[in-house]
Structure 1
C-alpha cells in the first residue's frame, strides 16, 4: 500500500458520524486516549489515531447521521489496548456509559464495551493469551 500523509495508514478506517465534530474529538481524546492527526474544516471531519489504527470523525450532514438513542446497535468498533482496566476507568471518568464491565473470555481476551457521547458502541480488548480458535469452538479457515 502506498503511503499518503493525507489519509490514515490503517487498512480499515471506520468513519463515524457525530453531531459536533470538535466536541467528539475532544471527548474521544479524553475518554479513549485517541489523538487527532488531521483536521478538515472547523467542524467537518477529523482523522484520529486509535493505537495502531485510525478512525474518521465526520459531521452530521448530507446522508450521514449519528446514532439515535433507543434505535439499537447498528455497529461497533473494536480497539485493542494494553491495560483494559485502566482504559475502562479512564473512559468511565470521562463520562462513557459502560455497557459491559471488563470480563475475560475463553478466546484469550479481556474486554469491555462502552457507548460514547453520540451513542457509538465501542469494544476495547486486551490480549491475555494466544489461544487457538479450536480451543473455544472456533474454526481456523486459513
Structure 2
C-alpha cells in the first residue's frame, strides 16, 4: 500500500504515466486498487495520521517487470516523473530505469535481457558469502 496526499490525483497520474488500471475504488478518495501489468496490483491510500508519503526520504523502491523498459521510461518521463536513472543494462542481465512519482515513491522498471549466472557478476546463492 502506497500513501498519497490526493488518492484521485495519484490514480489518474499512475494510469497516465505508468499505464496502471484502476480495478477497485473504496470511498470517494480513501483507497484504490490498481492493476499493474497482467497479474500485479498496488493499493493507493490516502495520507492520514502516521500514514504519510516519503517526503524526500528513501523508504522503498517498487520494482515492476515490463515488456519494454525504454517505452515505460519515456511514458513516465512525459508525464513528469522525476528521472533518477535512465534505462541501463546491468551486468546481472537486467535492463532497468528508476523514476520518482508525484508523491516521492521510487519505481524501478525492469526486464530480463539475458540469463547470467550469479558467479559471473559477483553474486551468489544460498549459503554464499
TM-score with structure 1 setting the length = 0.85
Report the Cα distance in structure 1 between the residues aligned to 2:53 and 2:125, rounded to whole angstroms. Answer: 36
Out of 25, 28, 33, the residue aligned to residue 42 of structure 1 is 28
Can you give the 5+ residue segments of structure 1 that lack an aligned partner in the other structure? 1-14
Offset from partner CA, 1:91-142 (integer Å, 9 cap, x none): 0001101110110001110100000000101111011012222221111229
What count of residue pairs does the alignment treat as equivalent? Answer: 126
Offset from partner CA, 1:7-56 (integer Å, 9 cap, x none): xxxxxxxx100000000000000001111110011100000111121110
Deviation of the 1:62 alpha carbon: 2.7
TM-score with structure 2 setting the length = 0.93
1:9 is aligned to none
Q: Secondary structure at the match of 2:42?
A: strand
Can you give the 5+ residue segments of structure 2 that lack an aligned partner in the other structure? none
CA RMSD of aligned residues (A): 1.2
Q: Does residue 66 in structure 1 map to residue 53 in structure 2?
A: yes
1:112 is aligned to 97
4+ residue segments displaced more than 4 Å: none
